[in-house]
Amino acid sequence: MKRIAVVGGGISGLSAAYLLVSRNPDLEVTVFEADNRPGGKIWSERVNGFLCEKGPNGFLDNKPKTLELCKGLGIDPVRSNENSKKRFIFSGDKLKALPESPVSFIKSDLLSWGGKLRLLLELNAPKGPADETVADFIIRRLGIEALEKLIDPMCSGIYAGDPYRMSITSCFPRIKELEQEYGSLIRAMMKIRKQRKAQSKNPEGPTVSAAPGGNLTSFYNGAQTITDTLASRLGKHLKIGVSVHGISKNNGSYLLYTSQETFKADIVVIASPAYASSEILKDFDDELSKALLDIPYPHVSVVCFGYKKEHVKHLLNGFGFLIPHIENRNILGTLWDSSIFPNRASEGHVLLRTMIGGAQSPEVETYDDNELMNTVFDELKPILGLKSDPELVRVYRWDKAIPQYFLGHSKILQTIDERLSNYPGLYLAGNAYRGIGINDCIENSYRLVDEILAKIMDA
């Protein structure tokens, strides 16, 4: 019987462990989670009739593995309503709807006419190198205005990142693939639209997509439903409040030095954040440990405000808004969670969830809770027409929030893979490597479990 240790009880560690146990009950799987709760950054809190998300509030329903996992767990996802398709950018001191069609884009004042005309030059823009920053890619293909008003806030909303440092290949691989395949993003969109029309006549054909697409999806009682269910299914396999502070190898087996015992395992999956994994591996492989430390995590805080509807002048009939860095605001954006999912606020109330900090605003890390609350209130008040102080305030701080895939991330991954090749049975998992979202973590868990089980069968 193979003994498998999984270090880290976030979505990556929990899903990998569950898949191992469910697909091969003969395996002896143990998950070690240092915190006193499972779930990692997926964390839902019910307070005074409001359901606040400390971390991600859901996932897109365009990836089959997440939905497959939910079905296996017996939990029913809840898709966001039509409001989720209405998104806004704060520009020029007002909220502007993000265009949903070519016609609405032409009519929109989000970009100047010069910025719109600049987009036409994209058809003849040269291809770039194998990798470059998101900023370099967008400026070359679409122009500086498109970067500052459209792409920069998207980078903030997804990664809390800085487009001048982010890798286009690591962060948005599909966009880079379109350039390489079609030579132009506009040309790619036109051809894909044509292919989609043909596909609608032949639904059995392969799916054609240029963008992530899909509907934002969560659960009636919050995103934590999926990690709570995984933890419940794992039962005795999950050890909470047990940290791992080192690892060694002895006679073909791995020894994990935990806060309770020395645990012997044939296979080890380290699914903790990169900085924590680096510490665990420090005395085991110095080069691997240093490579992991090269993946930075900026500070991000989440501030939730609960209001009576009549105390917010704006209708909140949308997903929320993001703010370009050139607007010189502190907050990254605000999601109107109660407008897109049920059970986020009691009748007659609304829930606003604001992100502040990130890679472009490192100074926010020094703010105390009162400074965060006051900053968010002062910036939201004129934008949304807040008429009073909020009924509910919750501040959630992540000192190390979202891993950043900066330019050179692929080289870090290459180093990691090369070092791991020296240690059969040792694996790294999590959102620090090949995708930061819930979908990415679950899809990578499926792939990892397939690899582990195949090697066990071949042994």
Distances (CA, A) of 302 to 163, 328, 382, 393: 21, 19, 20, 11
Are the C-beta atoms of residues 407 and 429 closer than 8 Å to each other?
Answer: no
In the chain, ranges of CATH 3.90.660.20 domains = 45-83+297-398
User: What whole-number distance in Å separates Cα of residue 298 and Cα of residue 387?
Assistant: 33
Residue 51 pLDDT: 98
Name the CATH superfamily, with its identifier, for domain 111-201. Answer: protoporphyrinogen ix oxidase, domain 3 (1.10.3110.10)
Count how many residues are written for the chain: 459
What separation, in Å, do the N-terminal and C-terminal C-alpha atoms of the chain show? 12
Per-residue model confidence as pLDDT tens digits over 197-244: 776 666 554 443 334 568 999 999 999 999 999 999 999 999 999 999
Per-residue model confidence as pLDDT tens digits over 50-83: 999 999 999 999 999 999 999 999 999 999 999 8
Task: List, in sequence order, every residue forming a beta bridge with 97; answer none if it has no partner.
Answer: 88
In the chain, ranges of CATH 1.10.3110.10 domains = 111-201
Secondary structure letter of residue 284 according to DSSP: T
The domain made up of 45-83+297-398 has a fold known as Polyamine Oxidase; Chain A, domain 2 (3.90.660)
User: What whole-number distance in Å separates Cα of residue 345 and Cα of residue 163?
Assistant: 34
Cα 280 off chain centre by: 24
**Side chain identity, residue 384:** L
- The CATH class for the domain spanning 3-38+222-296+404-458 reads alpha beta
Residue 208 pLDDT: 38
In the chain, ranges of CATH 3.50.50.60 domains = 3-38+222-296+404-458
Residue 72 pLDDT: 97
- The share of the chain scoring above pLDDT 90, in percent, equals 90
CB within 8 A of 5, min separation 6: which ones? 30, 32, 254, 256, 263, 265, 267, 268, 269
Task: List, in sequence order, every residue forming a beta bridge with 386; answer none if it has no partner.
Answer: 312
User: Could you tell me the pTM of the whole model?
Assistant: 0.94
**Side chain identity, residue 417:** D
Residue 101 pLDDT: 81
Are the C-beta atoms of residues 9 and 231 closer than 8 Å to each other?
Answer: yes
In this prediction, the residues of the chain whose per-residue pLDDT falls under 70 are: 199-213
Residue 205 pLDDT: 46
